[in-house]
């Protein structure tokens, strides 16, 4: 049985938030980089073709390739090589060559297209030929939000803050679109809020508070999620906001 109770407008000034100059919290980012053991590479890789923008896809690829080359990787060298080539070919096939051919992060791979054939260099080895045909994926809005939240974290760990800012704008814009036009069930609202919570932890307190306030009518349907947002408000010393969230949870 569907639960369609929270048919509520997402009340957030998107332009105001997106135009915030210093949207990222450098203190939170510094702590995130120091304490994060790593992202879920398997899930991120699985959802790679759902990433809607090429810059975000490149950030994800950069992070995964770096992970596979690090001591954190727990796969064999053969499996690592297979994953790297699969990722490179998915990038080549899924995005326009013109959109990435001059990208700074891809220069060392020497990706080149000639008469429909591609070649690239990976781990000092040159590969050529047309990549395996991949069936294009058209993800729904919630999936796009999910993968872009992962891309945001990748760009932060890659130390590419400017790209992270652009990805954040995409996330907030799509979240507004999703809540106001597509989400109809309580579970959908909760899932979307769960995806963006890690992102909110890394932005400056004022914008963080505005977004949380807009989310309150939705997150109150999940006690576990409400507690997580409550803890976030306490962490930024917003006791009034935390109190307001508690009041929303209290039966009237």
Mean pLDDT, residues 74-96 = 88
Between residues 185 and 135, which one has the greater pLDDT? 185
Residue 9 lies in a domain: no
Cβ–Cβ < 8 Å for 230, 246: yes
Q: How many domains does the chain have?
A: 2
Same domain, 60 and 116: yes
Same domain, 106 and 180: no
Mean pLDDT, residues 175-197 = 87
Q: Which of 249, 240, 35, 45 is nearest to 157 (CA)?
A: 35
Share of the chain above pLDDT 90, in %: 49
Same domain, 217 and 157: yes
Same domain, 143 and 242: yes
131-163: pLDDT as tens digits = 666 677 789 999 999 999 999 999 999 999 999
Name residues whose C-beta falls within 8 Å of residue 4's C-beta, 6 or more positions apart in sequence: 184, 185, 186
Residue 4 lies in a domain: no
Establish how many alpha carbons lie within 13 A of residue 66's alpha carbon, considering only the half-sphere containing its beta carbon: 15
Residue 104 lies in a domain: yes
Instruction: Say whether pLDDT at 48 is over 80.
Output: yes
**Domain encompassing residue 86:** 41-129
Same domain, 96 and 209: no
Residue 3 lies in a domain: no
Same domain, 197 and 172: yes
Residue 21 lies in a domain: yes
Q: Can you state the angle between helices 141-157 and 186-200, rounded to 10 degrees? A: 10
| Per-residue CA distances from 136 to 46, 64, 236, 247 (Å) | 14, 21, 42, 46
Confidence of residue 174 (pLDDT cuts 50, 70, 90): very high
pTM of the predicted model, to two decimals?
0.89
Confidence of residue 115 (pLDDT cuts 50, 70, 90): confident
Q: Strand 112-114 vs strand 125-129: parallel, antiparallel, or unpaired?
A: unpaired
Q: Alpha-carbon distance 198 to 185, whole Å?
A: 22
Please state, rounded to an integer, the average pLDDT across all residues of the chain: 87
Cβ–Cβ < 8 Å for 242, 234: yes
Residue 88 lies in a domain: yes
Q: Which of 194, 196, 203 is nearest to 174 (CA)?
A: 196
Same domain, 121 and 243: no
Same domain, 240 and 146: yes
Q: Alpha-carbon distance 161 to 178, whole Å?
A: 25
Mean pLDDT, residues 222-250 = 83
Three-state SS sequence of 67-81: HHCCCCCCCCHHHHH
Mean pLDDT, residues 88-108 = 92
Same domain, 56 and 90: yes
Instruction: Say which residue the tokens 């796009």 belong to.
Output: 144
Share of the chain above pLDDT 70, in %: 92
Instruction: Say whether pLDDT at 252 is over 60.
Output: no
Instruction: Say whether pLDDT at 12 is over 90.
Output: no
pLDDT at residue 9, rounded to an integer: 66
Same domain, 147 and 231: yes
Q: Alpha-carbon distance 84 to 120, whole Å?
A: 12
Of 107, 129, 151, the one marking the end of a domain is: 129
Residue 66 lies in a domain: yes
Between residues 95 and 135, which one has the greater pLDDT? 95
Same domain, 160 and 107: no
Q: Alpha-carbon distance 119 to 138, whole Å?
A: 26
Confidence of residue 1 (pLDDT cuts 50, 70, 90): very low
Of 129, 160, 191, the one marking the end of a domain is: 129
Same domain, 162 and 107: no
- The alpha carbon dihedral of 159, 163, 166, 168 has a sign of negative
Three-state SS sequence of 111-151: CEEECCEEEEEECCEEEEECCCCCCCCCCCHHHHHHHHHHH
Report the largest interatomic distance among the alpha carbons of the chain, rounded to a whole angstrom: 68
Mean pLDDT, residues 66-79 = 81
Of 94, 129, 164, the one marking the end of a domain is: 129
Look up residue 145 and give its two tokens.
Answer: 């939000």
């Amino acid at each position: 049985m569907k639960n369609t109770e929270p048919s509520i407008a997402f009340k957030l000034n998107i332009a105001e938030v997106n135009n915030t100059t210093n949207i990222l919290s450098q203190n939170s980012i510094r702590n995130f980089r120091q304490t994060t053991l790593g992202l879920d590479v398997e899930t991120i890789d699985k959802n790679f073709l759902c990433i809607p923008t090429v810059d975000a896809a490149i950030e994800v690829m950069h992070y995964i390739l770096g992970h596979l080359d690090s001591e954190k990787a727990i796969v064999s060298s053969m499996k690592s090589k297979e994953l790297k080539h699969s990722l490179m070919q998915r990038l080549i096939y899924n995005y326009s060559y013109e959109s990435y051919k001059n990208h700074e992060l891809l220069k060392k791979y020497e990706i080149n297209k000639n008469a429909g054939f591609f070649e690239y260099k990976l781990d000092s080895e040159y590969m050529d030929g047309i990549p395996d045909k991949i069936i294009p994926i058209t993800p729904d809005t919630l999936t796009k939000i999910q993968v872009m939240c992962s891309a945001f974290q990748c760009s932060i760990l890659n130390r590419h803050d400017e790209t992270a800012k652009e990805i954040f704008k995409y996330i907030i814009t799509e979240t507004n679109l999703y809540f106001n036009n597509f989400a109809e069930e309580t579970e959908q609202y909760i899932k979307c809020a769960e995806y963006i919570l890690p992102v909110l932890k890394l932005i400056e307190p004022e914008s963080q508070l505005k977004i949380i306030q807009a989310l309150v009518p939705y997150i109150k349907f999940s006690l576990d999620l409400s507690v997580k947002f409550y803890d976030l408000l306490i962490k930024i010393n917003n006791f009034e906001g935390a109190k307001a969230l508690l009041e929303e949870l209290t039966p009237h």
